[in-house]
Amino acid sequence: MTTLTPQAAAQTRRWVTLLATDDTAPGWSPFVGYSTPESLRAAAQWLVDRGHAPGLQHEMVCILLALFVIDVAPEMYGDVGGTFIPQDAA
């Protein structure tokens, strides 16, 4: 299984916090399942557009957010039988 490096995990945690706390951020959470990847893409694009992911394209930010959901979120918030993995992370 692929895992985030400690640096990538820390950066992604910051992104998730920004997405959760900034009123201008699109509605995306690592704890909600989605039927389309549009919300994940919008969140990644928002991070890139606002300079929170310097040097990264939004596709890579999408991948890092999806890996966060799989790799880090269960450790931080407790595993609830895989329900943290959004459908758009696949």
Residue 84: pLDDT band with limits 50, 70, 90: very low
pLDDT recorded at residue 76: 55
At 47 the three-state DSSP class reads: helix
pLDDT recorded at residue 67: 85
Residue 70 has, within 13 A of its CA and on its CB side, a CA count of 14
pLDDT recorded at residue 24: 95
Q: Is 70 exceeded by the pLDDT of residue 69?
A: yes
Q: Is 70 exceeded by the pLDDT of residue 6?
A: yes
Backbone angles phi, psi at 15, to 5 degrees: -60, -45
pLDDT tens-digit profile of 27-42?
A: 887 777 665 688 899 9
How many of the other CB atoms lie within 10 Å of CB of 44? 27
Residue 12 CA to residue 53 CA, distance in Å, equals: 10
Structure tokens at 14: 């910051």
